[in-house]
Chains A and B, each alone.
Chain A
Amino acid sequence: AQKVTQAQTEISVVEKEDVTLDCVYETRDTTYYLFWYKQPPSGELVFLIRRNSFDEQNEISGRYSWNFQKSTSSFNFTITASQVVDSAVYFCALTWANNLFFGTGTRLTVIP
C-alpha cells in the first residue's frame, strides 16, 4: 500500500532559523515520483519540487533544499534562514496509480 507520513504536524521557528520538514513514504512501485507543495493561508497549492525515484541527487533552490534517500524512503525538505513568508502548510506527496497521494501536511509557523 502507498503511504506518506509527515510526522511533524506543527513546527514553529524563529525567523532566520533553519527548519527541516520530514517526509517518509511507502510504496511497492519501483518507479514513482515524490512532490512537495506549499499551501499558504490563501489555500492555493504551490508546487515546489518533483523528484523521480531514479534520481537521488539532492537539490537546492535558493533557500530550499531537498534530501532524497531511497534507503530510508525519505524525502526531507529544508528551509534555510526561514522567513515569515514561509509560514504555510507543506505537503509531501507520492504518485500512486497515476494519481497523487498526499501526506497529512506540516504546518510551519515562522515567528518574526
Chain B
Amino acid sequence: AQSVSQHNHHVILSEAASLELGCNYSYGGTVNLFWYVQYPGQHLQLLLKYFSGDPLVKGIKGFEAEFIKSKFSFNLRKPSVQWSDTAEYFCAVNAQNNDMRFGAGTRLTVKP
C-alpha cells in the first residue's frame, strides 16, 4: 500500500513569512494527491488536490502545491502566511482505489 511522509512535525512562523511543507509518498503507480487542513476545533477539510494535468495546483486561501513526479513529492506552499493559517496540515495519497492514506501531519503555528 502507498505511504506518506511529512517531514516537518511542527513549524512556527511569523505572519507574512513564506511557508513550505514537505510531503513525499511511496507508490509507483498513478496517484491522486491531496492536502487537508484541520483548524482548531473544526473538521478536516480539503485544501487542494491534484489528479492530473498542470502539476502546480492552487487551492483555497492562497495555498498552492507542486507535484514533482520524479521526486514523489507534493509540497504545500503559501507566499505569506496569516495568523488564521494556524492549523494542522495533512498530506494524503489515493492510489485510485479509494484507499486514502494520510501523513502524520504538520502543525503550523503562526505568530501575530
Q: Do A and B bind each other?
A: no
